[in-house]
Chains A and B, each alone.
Chain A
Amino acid sequence: MEILNALALLANFVVVPATAYGAQLALGALGVTLIFGILRFANFSHGELMSFGTMAVILFTWVLQGQGVIIHPLPTALLALPVGILVAIVLSLTTDRLVFRFYRRKRANPIIFAIVSVGVMFVYAGLVRIVIGPDDQSFADGARFIITAREFKELSGLAEGIAIKQTQVVTIAVAVAVVAAMFWFLQKTRSGKAMRAYSDNEDLALLSGIDPDRVVMIAWIITAALATIAGTLYSLDKIYKPFIFLQILLPIFAATIVGGIGQPVGAILGGFVVAYSEVMLTYAYKKFLAYLGPSGWAPDSLVQLLSTDYKFAVSFIILVVVLLVRPTGIIRGKVIG
């Protein structure tokens, strides 16, 4: 019983939130890694692209809610998602045509691309603030919980409850579906194979007649879709706050680099590594150990490795350690520079 309580505690505060967070990071990292694989630069505007796509989803969600179109108990935002994706695709293709293509034609250095993407990021951020403003927006509807902590306690008779939010389940389900679709696309379709070939060896791909413009276009379309889905799931699960899309860039980049840059599988792996590290290193294990130890005993301290203030430092540490020890990442990817 005590062991079950300890596990339930850990599940409630570590496993469930870290899994949902990991799925959100993985989707974000997939987009960054894809752009790196095809266009060969670190895309700093990815976070704000997520924000922009999510904003479009929110606006359309409000329209749907206003019309009374809801799909209870699922969040209405899922219905609005395709529209948001479309808006994000238009935005990123326009950006590519107006900005990135210019530098691609000049065969600019990757570092110049990265700096340009920082500029793009600021423009996106400005657009978002003009359209929807800097404030928090809550657009989650539908049932909030699959099971609340209290219901779980009553059901299982344990002292510790496990709360599972509906958005967490939706996040994981959508992430699995999207990742599966993307791998099917990359492995089985002609366009996917062309993209992988282009990513592996640009010159060879060009010689075998692959149209680079088409590859770039597909890369942006997929990236915009991934970004919008990741941003929407993150905002559904937590809250939509325009400011955090700059902060979330750090764990996403960490996930990309940990997994191996340009490696889709690595991005997913990296997302979960970063999410679990963040949550596990900052979790206080006092109660968990108290359940496992002799009854009536509890550690004096919180048994917390890092204060939660340092949550973002975890991403930084992972980033630095990986770049020092294994710059290629878990799955041998490209090296920046």
Chain B
Amino acid sequence: MLKKILFTFVCAAISTTVFAADEVKIGMLQGFTGPTESLVAPMALGGEMAIKEVSDSGLFLGGKKVVPVRGDSTCIDAAAATAAAERLVTSEGVAGINGATCSGATTAVLNNVVRPNGIVMISPSATSPALTAIEDDGFFFRTSPSDSRQGQIIAKILEREGIKSAALTYTNNDYGKGLADSIQAAFEARGGKITAVAAHEDGKADYSAEVGSLAAAGGEVMIVAGYVDQGGAGMIQASLDSGAFDRFVLPDGMVGESLTNRFGDALNNSIGTNPGTDSPGAAMMAKITADKDFAGDDPFVPECYDASALLLLAMQSAGSTDSAVYKDHVMKVANAPGEKIFPGELAKALEILAGGGDIDYVGGSAVELIEPGESAGNFRETKIDGGEFKTMQYH
């Protein structure tokens, strides 16, 4: 009896191994439980859709099948994320990981699993600036931009507009502080001067004191890293009332119609930036998911699709599923030169790569990877003209 059971087990083990030989596994290491669970549900489906698309094409590495294997990285439990990644790598033997969802979990997995095992990991949604500088041995990429990207974009715009000094106020939370720090660092690196930095609390009726202290420091413009329906608008109101500032720089939290509805022409010539792209990728994502039960343009769904696609296209380009080999091909397939690849065109990409050609993967989120392997992000620059946000250009 015991022999029989043992035999079955051995058979099963052998058959899995045999079966796995022409099957490549990709780990979907996402925060399926915890604070991101509603966000992740469509994200993971988007990532798996790209895997299925590649697998069904029959063109991947001479006709190999690709299957996703899910692992729960949670969002805030680094130990659980590490354990899930460990399982994916050692017992499932995945060739690459699409994940993790949150920055904290991603950092833990990167240090404890990715680097020791030498596995490529592409995160669709970790945006912490700390991940830019982290030591990754070339195994880690992300299809979402660092939170500090917007600061660099704003600094670039200010330099182009000839603005040399600015006062900076931020809403007193992690978002505001992080954004303000990145704007200040980037602006000062370009030779600009932040005359004063003042936090403002949301939910107050009066911001004249905050504006007063910023006005004392001076500056050609006021950068308002706040919220459009909260203290950010209050800061602008108090500035206009006291005549302290009449030109503003408005990061993403401040770009909204309620602002122009409230202040109208008083804001003319102010500059806004917010995530946005003129790439048709997002619309195409929405189209190819039209018959699915999730929306292709939900938050981070295009990024997750792109993360899976980049993993597989890099493997195709390298002709190998060995992380140490194909890690050097991720940047190559993501960036120019080459044929532009949009969502739903993965078969075409595989074909070009198999023929030795070059591709420039655009995907759903208009991916452009910059060193050290993260998305440059896409930002829309607007200027208020005639009391309305007008798109100037995309960065």
Which residues in A have some Cβ–Cβ distance to B below 8 Å? Answer: 12-14, 17, 21, 136, 138, 148-150, 153, 161, 163, 165, 234-235, 238-241, 243-244, 247, 278-279, 282-288, 302-304, 307-309, 311
Contact = CB atoms under 8 A, between A and B. Distances in A.
Contacts of B206: 21, 238
Interface in B2-54: none
A309 B241 contact: no
Contacts of B217: 284, 286-287, 302
Nearest to B213: A284
Given A278-B209, A302-B217, A243 B203 contact: yes
Contacts of B199: 309
Contacts of A288: 216
Contact of B208 (A13, A148, A150): A13
20 contacts: A13-B212, A13-B244, A17-B212, A21-B206, A148-B243, A150-B243, A163-B241, A235-B205, A238-B206, A240-B205, A241-B204, A282-B209, A283-B212, A284-B213, A287-B216, A302-B196, A302-B213, A304-B213, A307-B213, A309-B199
Contact of B209 (A149, A283, A287): A283
A309 B201 CA distance: 8
Contacts of B196: 284, 302
The 8 closest A-B pairs by CB, nearest first: A149-B243, A284-B216, A284-B213, A238-B205, A13-B212, A287-B216, A238-B206, A286-B216
Contacts of B198: 307-308
A95 to B, nearest CB: 25
Contacts of A308: 198, 200, 209-210, 212-213
Given A13-B242, A148-B243, A287 B215 contact: yes
Contacts of A153: 243
B212 A284 contact: yes
A136 B209 CA distance: 20
Interface of B: 172, 196, 198-201, 203-206, 208-210, 212-218, 229, 234, 237, 241-244, 262
Contacts of A17: 208-209, 212, 242
Given A279-B212, A307-B213, 17 more contacts: A13-B242, A138-B262, A150-B243, A153-B243, A163-B241, A241-B204, A244-B203, A244-B205, A279-B209, A283-B209, A284-B212, A284-B213, A286-B217, A287-B216, A288-B216, A307-B198, A309-B172
Contacts of B241: 163, 165
A161 B243 contact: yes
Contact of A12 (B209, B243, B262): B243
Q: Of B214, B234, B241, which is in contact with the most chain A CB atoms at under 10 Å from its CB?
A: B241
Contacts of B243: 12, 148-150, 153, 161, 163
Contacts of B203: 241, 243-244
A286 B212 CA distance: 11
A234 B209 contact: no
Contacts of B210: 308
Contacts of A284: 196, 212-214, 216-217
B172 to A, nearest CB: 7
A119 to B, nearest CB: 24
B365 to A, nearest CB: 34
B264 to A, nearest CB: 12
Contacts of A161: 243
Nearest to B230: A136
Nearest to B243: A149
B252 to A, nearest CB: 21
A136 to B, nearest CB: 8
Q: Of B212, B218, B229, B237, which is in contact with the most chain A CB atoms at under 10 Å from its CB?
A: B212
B242 A12 contact: yes
A203 B290 CA distance: 82
A276 to B, nearest CB: 12
Contacts of A247: 204
Contacts of A244: 203-205
B205 A13 contact: no
A168 B350 CA distance: 69
Given A241-B203, A284-B217, A311 B242 contact: no
